[in-house]
């Protein structure tokens, strides 16, 4: 069997869903599990809605109406007005309605997962209905009953043993009957609460299912020709890699190449399952294949630009040295706030850390440091990472910018710039 994953951009409108169905039709003699993300920018919109609800901002109702309308407009182009999918989708949205009727008293991350997960639950119901409507036999599977996580909301940690058991129990018999479609990004706790796996986590969903089912391959369908050496929205001349090793792909995603979620590769590498990244507009093109390989040489440097960074510098209140004990306190605080460090640097009297800005997590972190440390920070920065770099390239990348922190190794350079 094979796993296909379609991201938000591939299902952002009715034409996208029709295109998806065309790709499935051409491949429907294969056993297929299809993982789908929320449509277009729905996850961002649901995040905003969650914040508005937690802050009890009146605009939340308007935001919610906008999200419903967007989905309704897409459905109206695909189905006759009396099609049961309209009720199915409305019933799913009702969960948000119930949630936002009450005053918020739960933890932010918990509320976030209950609301934001609806994006995937809705998109997959629409795609499933459309495939059946086109005569492609398709079954909807609730990933929350397959991917079991702990209760780390917004970053559910997968319980692999139970997850594999559930997947191996449920999938094979469903795949016999037709294609199976399931929401990406979501999981469930032992108490049946919904969790999410971290932003862009649908790739990881595809990889979890593939690893548990020993799939032949995973294909991620994207709006780019494959894995490129840089983001085509930021750079004019990009080059596609025909092939990458798992190791290089892990490095790229670790540094923030957003083409694949960072947790995706390892389970596939362990199970030796190739990962294909292909353009959904040109499904016959080869794209990029990621697999075990020692022979790949790098003529083209990889450039990864991560916006929305904070550079925080931490010193002791009396400006004494930052000791190992301080460092251990600092790292514990980062772990407790679920903030991943992108790069860091130590000097005698201060410790600088660069990470992604997330309002709620950052506030929590600052509170934890308030008592014992002196804090300075800049936000709105950009982290540029270049692998297999050449000196001339670096000059061009930093021209006109202030470099606040730089770190070089033989293969990789990281620069935090303003």
Q: Tell whether residue 8 is a contact of ligand ASP (CB under 6 A).
A: yes
Q: Tell whether residue 119 is a contact of ligand ASP (CB under 6 A).
A: yes
Using an 8 Å Cβ cutoff, are 110 and 117 in contact?
no
Longest C-alpha distance within the chain, in Å? Answer: 72
Q: Tell whether residue 7 is a contact of ligand ASP (CB under 6 A).
A: yes
Strands 179-183 and 138-140, how do they pair?
parallel
With tokens 């040295």, the residue in question is 321
Torsional class of 299: left (φ above 0), alpha (ψ -120 to 50), beta (otherwise): alpha
Q: Tell whether residue 37 is a contact of Mg ion (CB under 5 A).
A: yes
Stretch touching ligand ASP by CB under 6 A, among 70-78, 132-140, 196-204, 266-274: 196-204
Which two three-digit tokens encode residue 144? 């929350």
Stretch touching Mg ion by CB under 5 A, among 5-13, 142-150, 355-363, 378-386: 5-13
How far is CA 50 from each of CA 38, 108, 120, rounded to the nearest angstrom? 16, 9, 16
Q: Tell whether residue 149 is a contact of ligand ASP (CB under 6 A).
A: no
DSSP-assigned states of every residue in 154-217? TSPPB-HHHHHHHHHHHHHHHHHHSEEEEESSEEE-TTS-EEE-STTTHHHHHHHHHHHHT-SE
Q: Tell whether residue 287 is a contact of ligand ASP (CB under 6 A).
A: no
Contact mark string toward ligand ASP, 202..241, x via CB under 6 A: x---------------------------------------
- Residue from 10, 31, 43, 195 that binds ligand ASP (CB under 6 A)? 43
Stretch touching ligand ASP by CB under 6 A, among 147-155, 200-208, 324-332, 405-413: 200-208
What does the alpha-carbon distance between residue 257 and residue 235 come to, in Å, rounded to a whole number?
Answer: 14
For residues 222 and 388, which CB has a smaller minimum distance to ligand ASP in the complex? 222
Q: Tell whether residue 184 is a contact of ligand ASP (CB under 6 A).
A: yes
What does the alpha-carbon distance between residue 286 and residue 27 come to, in Å, rounded to a whole number?
Answer: 15
Q: Tell whether residue 156 is a contact of ligand ASP (CB under 6 A).
A: no
Which residues are near ligand ASP by CB under 6 A? 7-8, 37-38, 43, 119, 184-185, 199-202
Which residues are near Mg ion by CB under 5 A? 7-8, 37
């Amino acid at each position: 069997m094979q796993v296909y994953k379609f991201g938000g951009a591939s299902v952002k409108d009715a034409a996208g869903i029709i295109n998806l169905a065309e790709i499935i039709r051409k491949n429907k003699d294969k056993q297929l599990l299809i993982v789908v993300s929320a449509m277009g920018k729905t996850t961002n919109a649901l995040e905003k809605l969650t914040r508005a609800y937690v802050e009890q901002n009146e605009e939340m109702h308007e935001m919610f109406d906008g999200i419903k309308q967007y989905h309704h407009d897409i459905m109206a182009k695909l189905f006759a007005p009396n099609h049961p999918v309209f009720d199915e989708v409305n019933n799913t949205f009702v969960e948000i309605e119930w949630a936002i009727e009450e005053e918020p008293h739960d933890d932010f991350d918990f509320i976030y997962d209950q609301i934001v997960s609806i994006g995937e639950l809705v998109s997959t119901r629409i795609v499933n209905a459309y495939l059946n409507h086109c005569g492609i036999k398709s079954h909807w599977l609730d990933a929350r009953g397959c991917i079991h996580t702990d209760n780390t909301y917004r970053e559910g940690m997968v319980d692999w043993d139970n997850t594999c058991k559930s997947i191996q129990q449920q999938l094979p018999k469903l795949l016999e009957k037709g294609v199976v479609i399931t929401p990406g990004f979501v999981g469930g706790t032992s108490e049946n609460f919904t969790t999410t796996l971290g932003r862009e986590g649908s790739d990881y969903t595809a990889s979890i299912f593939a690893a548990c089912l020993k799939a032949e391959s995973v294909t991620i369908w994207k709006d780019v020709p494959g894995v490129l050496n840089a983001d085509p929205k930021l750079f004019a001349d990009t080059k596609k890699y025909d092939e990458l090793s798992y190791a290089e792909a892990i490095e790229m995603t670790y540094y923030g190449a957003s083409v694949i979620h960072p947790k995706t590769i390892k389970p596939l590498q362990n199970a030796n399952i190739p990962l294909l990244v292909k353009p959904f507009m040109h499904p016959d093109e080869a794209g990029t294949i990621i697999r075990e390989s020692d022979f790949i040489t790098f003529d083209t440097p990889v450039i990864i630009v991560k916006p929305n960074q904070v550079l925080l510098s931490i010193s002791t209140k009396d400006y004494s040295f930052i000791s190992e004990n301080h460092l251990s306190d600092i790292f514990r605080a980062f772990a407790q706030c679920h903030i991943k460090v992108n790069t860091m640097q130590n000097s005698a009297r201060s410790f600088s850390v660069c990470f992604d800005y997330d309002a709620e997590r950052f506030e929590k972190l600052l509170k934890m440091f308030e008592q014992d440390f002196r804090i300075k920070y800049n936000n709105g920065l950009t982290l540029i990472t270049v692998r297999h770099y050449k000196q001339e390239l670096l000059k061009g990348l930093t021209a006109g910018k202030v470099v606040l922190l730089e770190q070089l190794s033989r293969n990789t350079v990281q620069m935090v710039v303003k």
